[in-house]
A and B are shown apart, each in its own frame.
Chain A
Amino acid sequence: MGEERKYVKRIDENRIIIERHERMNVDGIVYVDERLFEMLSRDESLKQVENVACLPGIVSASYAMPDIHWGYGFPIGGVAAFDVEEGVVSPGGVGYDINCGVRLIRSNILAKEVETKIREVIDRLFVNIPSGVGSHRKDFKLSKNDLKRVAKDGAKWAVEEGYGKKDDLQCIEDGGRIEGADPEAVSDKAYERGKDQLGTVGSGNHFVELGVVEEIYDENIASAFGLFKGQLTILIHTGSRGFGYQICDDYIKEMLKASERYQIYLPDRQLCCAPISSPEGRKYLSAMASAANYAFANRQMITHWVRETFEQMFGIGSEKLGLDLVYDVCHNIAKIEIHTVKGDKIKVCVHRKGATRAFGPDEKILPERYRKYGQPVIIPGDMGRASFVLCGTRKAMEDTFGSTCHGAGRLMSRNEAIKTAKGRQVKKELEEKGIYVRAATRDTLLEEIPDAYKDVSNVVKVVHNAGISKLVAKITPLGCIKG
C-alpha cells in the first residue's frame, strides 16, 4: 500500500483523491474523513478503487463511499459509472448477492406501548419468516414458469399473487421491477437454486429488525416519509439468494472469456467484464435484472408475512396498524441511468456495489409523494447500535451519480470478530441493551457483533457533511431475526 499512498491526497475534510496514475483512466475519489481514512490502512480497498479506475469507459471517477471495505474485485462501497457506448458492465461490480437491499416499513404504533411484546413478535417472526439454511414456507411452492414470472415482474408479481398491496410498488426502487429482465438469460441451475429460496431471509448479515425512531434530524422530510419520534419500524435486509449467486457465477465465467475476446485489461480477474453494448454485456444485464426482480419479490413476500405476524399478534388489520413501506433500496446493482456530466446529459451504467442510489429532489423517477424532497435512503447499522434514514440530494446527482453509502462497513474480519466475541454472551449483552435477537446460523451472532463494524454514525456523518445525502432520522434496534 505504501507506494500507492503517494498518489493519495486529501481534497477536503470528507474526501480524498487517488490521483490518476499508471493504467488508471480516471481519478479515484473516496468519501472518508480522517478517522475513517486511518481505518483503511488495514486493507486493500484503496487499491481496489484504483483497479476499477482502470476499466474502459469509466466516467468522471472511481468512487467509494465511507463504508468502503475490502471486497472481491470492486471494493464494497464502490460506485462506478460507465458510458453505455464505450464502457463495460462487470458482474463483479454488482456482486454475487444481486440486489441485496433493504426496505423500511413504518407503523402507527408507539414502540413504548408494545415494549413488553417485542420478544413475542420476534419469536413469531422467526417462525413465520424462513431464515437460515434450507428453511422455506411449506405452504408455498413455485414452478419454473412461476419463477420466470418472478424474474420478469419482481415485486409486481408478488403483489398480483396477493403478497402486499399495489401501493407498495410505488415505494420501491424502479417500482420493484427492473425493465429488460429476460428469464431466458437465466440458467436452469439458477432456477433450481432459486426455487425454494423465494420468501426467505438467508443467512450472514441478512435480517428482519424491529426498531424505534429515536431521533429526527429533519422534521419536514421525516413527516413526508411518514416517520415520527417513538415510532415502531421494521427493517428487512435480504437479496436474491442462491438465484442471484448462481447468475453471478454463470456470467463471471462468460465475462472472463469476453474480457479476453475484447482485449480488456483486468488488474484483478474478478473485475472481468464486457462492453455494455456487446451481446455478452446485454445478456448479463438481462439476467442481472431477473435476479434483481427476484430480490424485490423476496422482500415483498417477507413484508407480507411481517404484516400477517403483526395482525396475528395484535388482532388488528395491517392497514389500521399503518404498516406501509417508506422505501426499498438496492445495495448491489448496475443500472442504466441518465446523468449530467460537465453540462452534458449522458447515458451511463452505474455500478453500485455496497452503495445506495440517493436521487435528489425533482427526479421524475421518484414517486410523487417524495419527489419534492428526494429519495429516502435507508442505511442499516450493526445489531447493537443504530440505523439511519437519509434523503437523496441534488449534490449527489452532481457529484456521485446519485449515490451514497449503504451501511456501517466491516472493521474486523469474521475470524477476528469470533476471537473478540469468544467467551462473551453476545445474545445476553444485546438483551441487556434491550435488543432481543434470534439467529438461525451458529456463528452469525459472533461474526456480526457490533464491534466488528465501523460506527455507522461516523459513516453517515461523512455523507451528510459532504452533502451527498441528508440525515433525516435515527432508528435504534429493539429486536431482530437473523439468518
Chain B
Amino acid sequence: MGSAQKSRPDVSPVQVARVQVVLYNEVKMERFSIIDHEADICVEIRGESLEQLYSNAASALFSIMIEVEDTSAEECVKKKVEIKRNGELLISFLNELLFLWETEGLVLYDLSVELTDDALKATLWGSKFNPEIHTVKKVIKAATYHNFEIKRDKKGYIARVVFDV
C-alpha cells in the first residue's frame, strides 16, 4: 500500500470536483442500482470492463455513504493501493476502501483501476473527511460474500454485492 500525498500533480482539486460530480451523477443513473434487501443493502453494479466494474463499485460504495456538498476548498489526497488476489478481489477491494475510510477518513472522488494476473492496483483520488463539506448518509460496516456474483452479458459485467450496514 502506498502513502498518502497532499496533491495530485496532473489534476487540480477543482477539476477533481468536476470529475466527481459527473461520476456521481452517472453512477446514480446507470452504473449501479440498489436492490431492496431487508436488513442490509444489496447493490447491482455494471461495467463495460472488469476495471470499470471495480471502479463503479467503489464509486457506488462512497455515493451510498457520503454526500459531498462543496469540494472547492479541499486539498486533494492521492493514494495508491495494491491488493493481492486472495479470495474475491472485488470484495477485498471494497473492504480495503472501507478500511481507508475508517482509519484515514479517505472520501473517494475518483479512481483508476488496473488488474494484473495476481493483483489489483488502484490509484485513488479524494479528500480527507471534513464534516463541513461531507455529510455521512449511512455507514457501511463491510462488503459481504452473501449471494456475491459477477456475471457477463452483452454489455459487459454485472456484480451483486450485499453491504452490511
Cβ distance A187 to chain B, nearest Cβ, rounded Å: 10
Q: Using Cβ atoms and an 8 Å threshold, which residues of chain A touch B34? A: 415
B18-60 near A? 1/0 per residue, CB < 8 Å: 0000000000000000101111110000000000000000000
Contact between B145 and A70 (Cβ–Cβ < 8 Å)?
A: no
Q: Using Cβ atoms and an 8 Å threshold, which residues of chain A touch B92? A: 253
Contact between A415 and B36 (Cβ–Cβ < 8 Å)?
A: yes
Q: Using Cβ atoms and an 8 Å threshold, which residues of chain B touch A245? A: 98, 141-142, 164
Contact between B37 and A203 (Cβ–Cβ < 8 Å)?
A: no
Q: Once A and B bind, how many residue pairs between them come within 8 Å at the CB atom?
A: 111
Contact between B165 and A204 (Cβ–Cβ < 8 Å)?
A: yes
- Give the docked Cα–Cα distance between A269 and B88 (Å): 11
Contact between B36 and A416 (Cβ–Cβ < 8 Å)?
A: yes
- Give the docked Cα–Cα distance between A441 and B94 (Å): 21
Contact between B147 and A268 (Cβ–Cβ < 8 Å)?
A: yes
Q: Using Cβ atoms and an 8 Å threshold, which residues of chain B touch A204? A: 138-139, 141, 165
Q: Across the two chains, which residue of chain A brings its CB closest to B65? A: A133
Contact between B38 and A42 (Cβ–Cβ < 8 Å)?
A: yes
Given A134-B105, A193-B102, A414-B41, are A269 and B145 also a contact pair (CB < 8 Å)?
A: yes
Identify which of B72-80, B114-122, B129-137 touches chain A: B129-137
Q: Across the two chains, which residue of chain A brings its CB closest to B95? A: A249
B71-110 near A? 1/0 per residue, CB < 8 Å: 0000000000000001100001001001100110100000
Q: Using Cβ atoms and an 8 Å threshold, which residues of chain B touch A192? A: 99, 103
Identify which of A71-79, A338-346, A394-402 touches chain B: A71-79
Size class of B's contact patch? 20 to 34
A406-434 near B? 1/0 per residue, CB < 8 Å: 00001111111000000000000000000
Contact between B148 and A414 (Cβ–Cβ < 8 Å)?
A: no
Q: Across the two chains, which residue of chain B brings its CB closest to A133? A: B136
Cβ distance B155 to chain A, nearest Cβ, rounded Å: 25
Q: List 16 A-B contacts (CB under 8 A).
A: A43-B38, A72-B162, A92-B145, A132-B136, A133-B139, A252-B87, A252-B145, A253-B86, A269-B145, A410-B38, A411-B38, A442-B135, A442-B137, A442-B138, A443-B138, A444-B138
5 interchain residue pairs of minimum CB distance:
A72-B146, A270-B146, A203-B139, A72-B144, A413-B36
Q: Chain B interface (Cβ within 8 Å of chain A)?
A: 34, 36-41, 67, 86-87, 92, 95, 98-99, 102-103, 105, 129, 131, 135-139, 141-142, 144-148, 162, 164-165
Q: A441-B139, A442-B67 are in contact. List 9 more A-B contacts (CB 8 A).
A: A71-B39, A73-B146, A132-B136, A134-B129, A134-B131, A203-B136, A249-B142, A272-B145, A414-B41
Q: Chain A interface (Cβ within 8 Å of chain B)?
A: 42-43, 45, 69-73, 76, 92, 95-97, 132-134, 189, 192-193, 197, 202-204, 242, 245-246, 248-249, 252-253, 256-257, 268-270, 272, 410-416, 440-444, 447, 483
